[in-house]
A = this chain, B = another copy of it.
Amino acid sequence: MAEEFPVVGLDSAAREAVELLAVRRLPGLIVVGAKGEPHSVLPASQVVRFLVPSYVQDDPSLARVIDESLADQVADKLANVTVRRLLPSEPVELPVVNHDDTVLEVAAIMARLRCPLVAVLKDKKIIGAITASRLLELVVTPH
């Protein structure tokens, strides 16, 4: 039921994580600690938030009059930065399920926590993930 899902470390290079999100067009990445233990989710929208200057976030109309392109700013912002810096101050919780949980058990946790992604653990190691749309696939398509 679990599928392979990209995982990055808290101390990985931010630039690589962002390229992974971009190239594979993922809504988010799983972030793990030094021992491979699940830590949190890094949503792509959070990375966008990190990259946009705060004065532009406060007043999006400023975006129209700023000359420098976002692409130019991005290179600077991501240089020598780790994934840890990209995370929101209150990291997005990463729910975990066991590799032998049933579809209904996974759905129950997803529904309760309103999360689009759960990590799947076996012997305390992440072996993959289940997205909400993957779960829907399991329940609406004939097996």
Interface residue ranges, A against B (CB under 8 Å):
15, 18-19, 21-27, 43-49, 51-52, 56-58, 60, 62-64, 66, 69-71, 74, 78, 102-105, 107-112, 114-116, 131-141, 143
Contacts and interface: CB of A to CB of B under 8 A. Distances in A.
A60 to B, nearest CB: 4
Contacts of A46: 114
Chain A interface mostly: helix
Given A52-B107, A57-B111, A108-B63, A136 B27 contact: no
Given A22-B137, A48-B111, A60-B105, 11 more contacts: A22-B140, A22-B141, A45-B115, A49-B111, A52-B110, A57-B108, A57-B111, A63-B107, A64-B102, A69-B103, A71-B140
Contacts of A21: 132-133, 136
A112 B22 contact: no
B18 A60 contact: no
Nearest to A137: B22
Contacts of A18: 136, 140
Closest 5 CB pairs of A and B: A44-B132, A60-B108, A22-B137, A52-B111, A22-B136
